[in-house]
Amino acid sequence: MPLWLPWPLPSGWLFSGLRLAGDERTGTVATVLALSGPNPLPEADPLSLLEHTGADLLLVAEQPGVGLGAHLAGLTDVDPGSVIVESSRHRMADLKLVAAGHDAPLWTVEVPAECAAYVGEAAGVWLWVLLWPVHAAAVLLEPFELIDTRDPGLELDLPYGAPSPRLSPPPTD
C-alpha cells in the first residue's frame, strides 16, 4: 500500500501525522499521511483571517471497498467507484498529480465536510486528496510529485509539526 508524500513539500508545510488501517490477516489496506501548513489563500476564507488558522492536507491510499478516504471526507459511501466512473464518462479530470512518475488524474468529489476532495487511482489503489479549508486546494498548484515513502533509497528529512486533529478518532460517548 503506497504511503504518498508530496516532494518537495509545499513551502511552509510540515508532516503532521500518519495512520494505517488493516490487521494481521489482511495487512495494511489503507494509509493516510497528514500535512499542515499555511493557508495559501487566507483572503478567500474570512474565518482564516480572523483566527489565523492554517490548512490541512490528507493523502489517503486505500484498496477498493475500505472506505477510509470517504469517511475522512464526511461521506457515507465506502467506495468512490461510481463517482469516478460517472465523472470520467462526462468530463476530463479536474486535477492531475504525478504519483511515482505517472500521471494520476483526479476528480472532484462533492462532500458534506468543509473541505476540497479529489479522488482517482494511483499505483492500483484509490488516491484521495483532502484539503481544509476548501481554498487550501490552491497548494496543489505548487510543483511537486507524490513519492511513495516505502521506496528504497529515500533519505528524507521531514519537518514535523503538531499532530493533525483530522486524524484524531471521534469522541466516544
Instruction: Please indicate whether residue 107 or residue 173 has the higher confidence score (pLDDT).
Output: 107
pLDDT at residue 168 in the model: 77
- What's the pTM value of the predicted model, to 2 decimals? 0.90
Indicate whether 140 pLDDT > 90: yes
pLDDT value of residue 161:
94
Share of the chain above pLDDT 90, in %: 69
Q: Is the distance from CB of 97 to CB of 129 less than 8 angstroms?
A: yes
Bridge partners (DSSP) of residue 103 are 98
Looking at the predicted structure, is the pLDDT value of residue 50 above 80? Answer: no
